[in-house]
């Protein structure tokens, strides 16, 4: 599972090249961090971790790049899967679309079906 320090580092890396403000919001930051911390240490299926990224994105914990930050984290979780490159690209892209809420219901359902055999802890060990 990703820790909050990874969220901060990912956000900073996205803001730096564009010299964008790297600052938390007054409302969403505390809620998103608490939401993530509540689930830390709990085994999750891949789709649950991607959905957690989606939920954190919706809470808008930062002044900008919320979607980019949490989509990048979701895609990085997928990068741990041992698949052929073309299949990995599709799953990785779909994870980002789920976080951004641009995936169709069919796509989200297929991702759920695919990911139910994979926990985030298994990905780290594999």
**Which residues are 45's β-sheet partners?**
119
DSSP string for 28-60: HHHHHHHHHHHHTTS--BHHHHHHHHHHHHHH-
pTM: 0.87
In the block, tokens 């809620």 appear at 31
Using one digit for the tens of pLDDT, what is the confidence trace for 20-58? 888 899 889 999 988 888 877 778 889 999 999 999 999
Q: If we measure between CA atoms, which residue out of 123, 18, 125, 115 comes closest to residue 65? A: 18
Q: Is residue 2 over pLDDT 80?
A: no
Cβ contact 95:24 at 8 Å:
no
Using one digit for the tens of pLDDT, what is the confidence trace for 57-74? 999 999 989 999 999 999
């Amino acid at each position: 599972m990703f820790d909050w320090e990874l969220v901060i580092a990912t956000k900073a890396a996205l803001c730096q090249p564009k010299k964008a403000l790297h600052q938390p919001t007054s409302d969403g930051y505390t809620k998103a961090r608490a939401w993530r911390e509540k689930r830390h240490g709990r085994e999750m299926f891949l789709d649950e971790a991607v959905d957690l990224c989606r939920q954190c994105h919706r809470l808008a914990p930062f002044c900008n790049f919320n979607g980019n930050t949490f989509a990048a984290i979701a895609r990085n979780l997928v990068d741990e899967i041992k698949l052929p490159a073309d299949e990995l690209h599709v799953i990785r892209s779909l994870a980002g679309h789920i976080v951004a809420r641009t995936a169709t219901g069919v796509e989200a359902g297929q991702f759920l079906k695919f990911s139910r055999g994979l926990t985030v802890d298994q990905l780290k060990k594999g």
